[in-house]
Amino acid sequence: MSTAPEPAVPAFDPDRVRIFDTTLRDGEQSPGASMNLSEKLEVARVLAALGVDIIEAGFPIASVGDFESVRAIAGEITGSTVCGLARCNDKDIDRAWEAVKYAQKSRIHVFLATSAIHREHKLRMTPAQIIERAVASVRRARSYCHDIEFSPEDAARTELDFLCEVVAAAIEAGATTVNIPDTVGYATPTQYAAVIRTLRERVGNIGQAIISTHCHDDLGMAVANSLAGVEAGARQVECTINGIGERAGNAALEEIVMALKTRHDYFGLTTGIKTERLYPASRMVSTITGLLVQRNKAIVGRNAFAHEAGIHQDGMLKERSTYEIMRPEDVGVPRTDLVLGKHSGRHALRDRVTELGYTLTDEQIEVVFNDFKALADKKKEVYDQDLAILVEKHMEDIPAPWQLLSLHTTAGTSVLPTATVAIRRPDGEVVQDAAIGDGPVDAIFKAVERVTGVHANLHEFVVRNVTQGKDAQGEVTLELEVESDDRSFRGRAASTDIIEASALAYINAVNAIQTHKERGHVREVAGRPGAGA
Ligand code: KIV
Ligand code: ZN
């Protein structure tokens, strides 16, 4: 074991709040949100470009896949610190260090439950044993790395005296950040702030560490609790894009950041986030995880900047600030005006895509450009949202063993719905088949099933318009459940024709199933936080 040089007390600007993003760890624990390695890398790049201070890239001991994605992120990302999670035991800590050690800036995050409920029922450990284990683990982590975070899991329900004791011992052992999780989303803002304040008043060495918040949203108070924690002196907030996470989720990054920015007059604090990248980041995480953002979601929901009432519209026309406290462009919400047309060239496309917050290679631009031309032929008006869909389609890195070549459906009030599909198989052969169904979409799904031989239950099917106008693009998101595997797979596609989008989304999910089978990938969960930690 290497011995790291003496700790430097973290020098920090007291007016700056660090943003610790855990979309790739706690966020990935949202049911149905697991991501593959290339998807995680894609999200990590977006987070780094957004300016997050720390990216919690995963829980390396949980599976080989988790380990490899944390290591890949650590090897590539610059600017942001890359953090790996570990329970308080040697194997977890060693594995976490193996995964993050090549990062430009690495952090190990160790956690151990401290509340009486967890101590007695889950861990069966006495308070003295908890302190001993926490200290030994922080020391071990500190022997590898200078930047160590310690979390007393379920801190918000831990007796305050004991919490102060554990936190003091963890700092003494070398923790540079102490995180105070409200693991089950039980706290209220006043109570949570009191916990942070008490730590600041009663823990003698608290000045040697940054206090962090980590709030879950079970009672819908994650953001309010985090901000109350900040007001009480916390200077790191743990959060996720779109608030995804275990159960009801975590505090939403975009809400925390925009609350601090918009109410700078009140909080007097800043973050390093490039807020105009929030909306593209939200869309990207939603695309990759398949977790849709509710329409009325603050900051990034589709209605967040829509004004319906006449009285509001009138006020807006006279003076925006009457009803708007943030400008859509401040968070990167695409403009609704016409941006590009049939005759626009590659340069204009690249400029607009960059303005929207996406970074694409020359090859990706070329592919998006071809799709853009095809879309501009079908659709008179190409909006920013249309471009976002085209770009995101090519950012998904799922190989496509099965490809839809053509599709024909018949449906109506007095005909039997029928679908004929031509599909290229993974070996290159083109196969045609037809099926009847309860409607044209059902017929397509049955025809695809006949060709591919992939049997799955349709679990969820959502169609929504994602751009505006009569010729808007429709987006289909669906989930297929494979019983033999006890797993579900997402598919997503957009088109001006929702029947075509349905077929493409279904094949997208079938491809995910095929790729999963080829890799023989079985997720070996070694213990998620909260389950035996
Ligand atoms: O909610 C929680 O307590 C956690 C810890 C691992 C920080 O996610
Ligand atoms: Zn959590």
Which of 56, 153, 157 for a ligand 1 pocket mutation test, highest count of atoms within 8 Å of Cβ?
Answer: 153
Q: Find the Cα–Cα–Cα–Cα dihedral 287, 291, 292, 293, rounded to 10°.
A: -100
Task: Report CA(183)–ligand 1 centroid distance (Å).
Answer: 6
- Whole-number pLDDT of residue 336: 54
- Whole-number pLDDT of residue 224: 98
Edge-to-edge, what's the strand order for the sheet holding 487-495? 457-465, 474-482, 487-495
Task: Report CA(153)–ligand 1 centroid distance (Å).
Answer: 6
Distance between start and end Cα atoms, the chain? 24
Task: Report CA(192)–ligand 2 centroid distance (Å).
Answer: 15
- Whole-number pLDDT of residue 518: 67
Residues of the chain with CATH 3.30.160.270: 403-518
pLDDT along the chain (533 residues), means of 10: 46 91 94 83 96 98 96 98 98 98 98 97 97 98 98 98 98 98 98 98 98 98 98 98 96 98 98 96 89 92 78 72 89 69 81 76 87 82 77 66 90 91 90 93 94 89 76 82 76 85 89 70 38 39
Q: CA-CA distance, 420 to 418, in Å (whole number)?
A: 7
Q: Find the Cα–Cα–Cα–Cα dihedral 210, 216, 222, 227, rounded to 10°.
A: 0
Q: Interior CA angle at 374 toward 372 and 379, to 5°?
A: 85
Whether 217 lines ligand 1, by a CB cut-off of 6 Å, is no
Whether 182 lines ligand 1, by a CB cut-off of 6 Å, is no
CB 211 within 8 A of CB 230: no
- Whole-number pLDDT of residue 10: 53
Atom number, ligand 1, closest to the C-alpha of residue 184:
1
Task: Report CA(295)–ligand 2 centroid distance (Å).
Answer: 25
Please give, one letter per residue, the 3-state secondary structure of 23-50: CCCCHHHCCCCCCCHHHHHHHHHHHHHH
Task: Report CA(36)–ligand 2 centroid distance (Å).
Answer: 21
Q: Which residue's C-alpha comes closest to atom 1 of ligand 1?
A: 183
CATH 2.60.120.10 matches 403-518:
no
Of the candidate CATH numbers 3.40.50.12780, 2.60.40.1080, 3.20.20.70, 3.40.190.10, the domain formed by 18-289 belongs to 3.20.20.70
155 alpha carbon, closest ligand = 1
- Whole-number pLDDT of residue 73: 98
Whether 183 lines ligand 1, by a CB cut-off of 6 Å, is yes
Q: CA-CA distance, 203 to 263, in Å (whole number)?
A: 30
- Whole-number pLDDT of residue 527: 39
Number of Cβ within a 10 Å radius of residue 105 = 18
Whether 212 lines ligand 1, by a CB cut-off of 6 Å, is no
Q: Which residue's C-alpha comes closest to atom 2 of ligand 1?
A: 183
- Whole-number pLDDT of residue 228: 98
CB 512 within 8 A of CB 489: yes
Task: Give tens-digit pLDDT for 188-209.
Answer: 999 999 999 999 999 999 999 9
pTM (global) more than 0.85: no
Residues of the chain with CATH 3.20.20.70: 18-289
Q: Which residue's C-alpha comes closest to atom 5 of ligand 1?
A: 153
Instruction: Kindly provide the b/e burial profile for residues 484-518, where b requires at least 16 CB atoms within 10 angstroms of the residue's own CB.
Output: eeebbbbbbbbbbebbbbbbbbbbbbbbbbbbbee
Number of Cβ within a 10 Å radius of residue 166 = 23
Mean pLDDT (the chain) is: 88
Q: CA-CA distance, 66 to 73, in Å (whole number)?
A: 11
Candidates 528, 491, 498; CA nearest to 513 is: 491
- Whole-number pLDDT of residue 348: 80
